[in-house]
Structure 1
Amino acid sequence: MILLDGKALSEKIKEEVKVEVAELVEEKQITPGLAVILVGNDAASATYVASKAKSCKNAGIYSVVHEMPESITQEELLETIARMNENPKLDGILVQLPLPKHIDTTVVLEAIDPLKDVDGFHPYNVGRMVSNLDAFLPATPFGVMRMFEEYGIEVSGKNVVVIGSSDIVGKPMASLLINAKATVTVCNSRTKDLAFFTKAADIVVIAVGVPHLLKADMIKDGAIVIDVGINRLDTGKLTGDADFEDCKNKCSHITPVPGGVGPMTIGMLLKNTIKAAKLREKREKK
């Protein structure tokens, strides 16, 4: 069994980004900039945003965290995004999800300039991704694809089951795998006899937020398990959607939780920010 070490790979990606930032600053006089909007005081979101800000600083990316109270109106939030769209120092804009219930997430995400949509959630980028055109890709699925590449895992022609159909992971993950010529089945919480599908899969990507849903008797020998889930048990321990201890001896490759897919998300977000800065440089040259 090979452990897919997302933590180590993420550090490698961050070093790549650091080099690219230095080159942009020296050769193009451009410092990439990322703005993160944090609404409310959700502890998990605040921790994640702080980690993003730290990673930006370490890579030499200019970053700003715009904290807003949970009582903020949708109009005020949209006005803030509009100002960020016009700010030439900001290459990427990211709205930390989830948003309070009184705010329409779709309207907010659509308000972000598609050329600054480093989260890859704007319909413009989603459409281009599905059409296999150049686009900003959602960071978590993007990270999984980079992991496949790093570990020499060929997905073309493989049977892949994606468990979960969210806009953030499941749907874009399926699209990227289809673009890579995999045979993809998407399952969700209403799928009857989930094991019927997973037992036939060469690769299982699970992202549903249900601790230990995937068991060893649901996968075939030599399967590859990519666990995107992260759940906190009553004991305080973090665990994935796959039962790691149960599955590990039956897999050829598996991601741990924590330390697997999670760290890749920030690494690929930084990659998207660099991409946005390079696109800005090209536009300014015209």
Structure 2
Amino acid sequence: MEHGPLAGQIVEAYDGMSAQLQAAARYVLDRPRDVALLSMREQARQAGVQPATMTRLAKNLGLDGYDAIRDAYASALRAGDIGFAGKAGAQALTQKLKGDHALAGEVLASMSRQIAGLMEEAPLNRIVAAAKRLASARRVYCLGLRSSHSAAWHFHYILSLIGEKSTILDGIGGTGSDMIGRATEQDVLFVVSVLPYTRATIEIAEYAHSRGIPVIAITDSEVAPLAKLSEAAVIIPTDSPSFFHTMAPAFAVAEVLATLVAGHGGDEALEALRRFDDQLGAFNVHLTTRAIKRQP
């Protein structure tokens, strides 16, 4: 996901801002297209702050007022400098009025555009850099809780097919995080988390970081907790016409990362896959055409 012309300045000043200013700053950072197109009052409403907070944000960044921010983003948009950032929030408010077919189409179209945006140069560079770091690790510890679990588990499952490189931090009885105690600086913690961030995920990542274990993340903002902890972070959009944030881009990135890591595995990965195929055949895991019985 691309950000606007003030992204670097916002990230640098973010930690020193109040909670309200951070909410406004995050909106500007994560919704560059909306900053260029929507009124200040509408942006404040979507950010959950008062309009005066948007003005204070501008002054915090050394600008005369919020119009200076909007003008900068509008100029960048006209010049083609802002990548796709999702549907405008104002449109999302009316989607439920269009009917089930229209809403389903909006959700699928939004996912398609978001995933297509990951093929731009900047996101691809991040994905490739993250994959190379994961491939070079002795072992990869995978973590994703709640809505992020599926992306982390899918990444782990693909790697499990090519050997014993991956460990999922997911255990019965609250023991999932115990395995990270075995990690060293030669390993990597691969972690997925998006807003609202699960407390346990961030705490485990902070623990790993404090012990010198590299963190590779999929998250949703340059100012997300994981982005600050990570050696490499892939930033994905989560906006959706649905009431629930989308995890489709995170899942897609996890699958791409696993594919690239597997490709770095060479002959050892191929041999592991042959053994796995033999095991699947021995246990007759998959349904075969001959096993399907048609009803008369």
The TM-score by the shorter chain falls in which range? 0.3 to 0.5
Considering fraction of residues, name the structure with more helix.
2
Considering fraction of residues, name the structure with more strand.
1
TM normalised by structure 1 equals: 0.33
TM normalised by structure 2 equals: 0.32
Structure number with the bigger relative contact order (C-alpha 8 A, sep ≥ 6) is 1
